[in-house]
Amino acid sequence: MVKTDYEFERIWWNAKAKKEEIDMFDEKINRELRWKEINKQLSADINTILDVGGGTGVFSIPLAERGFKVVHFDLSEEMIAIAKKKSEEKMIKNITFEQGISADLSRFNDDSFDLVLNMDGPVSFCGIDAEKAIKETIRVAKKKVIMTVSNRANMIVSILKSGIRFSDERFIPAIYEMFDTGFWHTQQYGENKQLVKGCTNDYLGPIKAFLPQEIKLIFEKSGMKIERLTSIGSLTNHCGKEFLDQLLEKPKLYHEFIELCDRFDKEICPYSIGSNQRAGLIIVASK
């Protein structure tokens, strides 16, 4: 298993910073679905929030604007710089910025924050340290955790579709690695480097993609009560890009579709493939 080189990853995330808020395929809908869940959890007893992997401030800045005391935490100084500039332009005083890795939140005491957000990369892109990152998030949460992670079902589909060109005899090893362990790394197999041509710096990873039962076990062993554990954004993936492109031209239908997506994840296919872009599983849990 390839170890996670956080200095290399920091440089990679820095390179992604300026493009972080450019939505691809179903990213916008995925983000709106996450906001629905965040807003639902903002009860009167939530005052302090840690945003692990806060990126360019998509969640941390609006939450600070609403009066919550927010700590924005990220690996990338370029991401932090963009978020900090936003906060300065809006003259937000109740947000602070910290740089570090999500697998090591030792600067924060146990139960430091009423709510801890950990969205997208801070868990999954820790690779073999992903479980450590989950446990650190849980440790510093006093009341609630909202987390999204990569969905192994979606990763299997993505690698299958991308890797079919390499052989007429057998699917590439990365497929079987994803089935067996949920791990991906660009350096792991020869074909992997070809699969990620065109990505930022021709690189993607490391990734640990999860099954719902894996997440359930980690949270429950850490003493957490799971309130929601489902895929997120699966309907967008099933409908495809052409449908979504048409939908974006019809604002009323678009907002109605958000509600249908939420219902689909909760009522119809809770353990489906998730969205195409961003994380495909969402976990809400309390202490």
CATH code of 154's domain: 3.40.50.150
* pLDDT more than 70, % of the chain: 100
- Is 13 inside a domain boundary? yes
- Does residue 206 have a cis bond before it (omega within 30 degrees)? yes
Residue-range definition of the domain harbouring residue 198:
6-286
The string of pLDDT tens digits covering residues 8-67 is 999 999 999 998 888 888 999 999 999 999 999 999 999 999 999 999 999 999 999 999
- Is 137 inside a domain boundary? yes
- Is 114 inside a domain boundary? yes
- Is 90 inside a domain boundary? yes
Distance between CA atoms of 99 and 40, rounded to whole angstroms?
Answer: 28
Give the largest CA-CA distance in the chain.
60
116, amino acid identity? V
- Is 67 inside a domain boundary? yes
The string of pLDDT tens digits covering residues 190-217 is 999 999 999 999 999 899 999 999 999 9
- Is 93 inside a domain boundary? yes
- Is 32 inside a domain boundary? yes
Measured from the Cβ of residue 194, the count of other Cβ atoms closer than 10 Å reads 15
Total domain count, the chain: 1
Q: Which of 22, 18, 32 is nearest to 247 (CA)?
A: 32
Contact 271, 230 (CB under 8 A): yes
Distances in Å between the Cα of 147 and the Cα atoms of 205, 263, 280 are 19, 19, 11
- Is 1 inside a domain boundary? no
Q: Which residues contact 67 (CB under 8 A, 6 or more apart)?
A: 94
The string of pLDDT tens digits covering residues 148-172 is 999 999 999 999 999 998 888 889 9
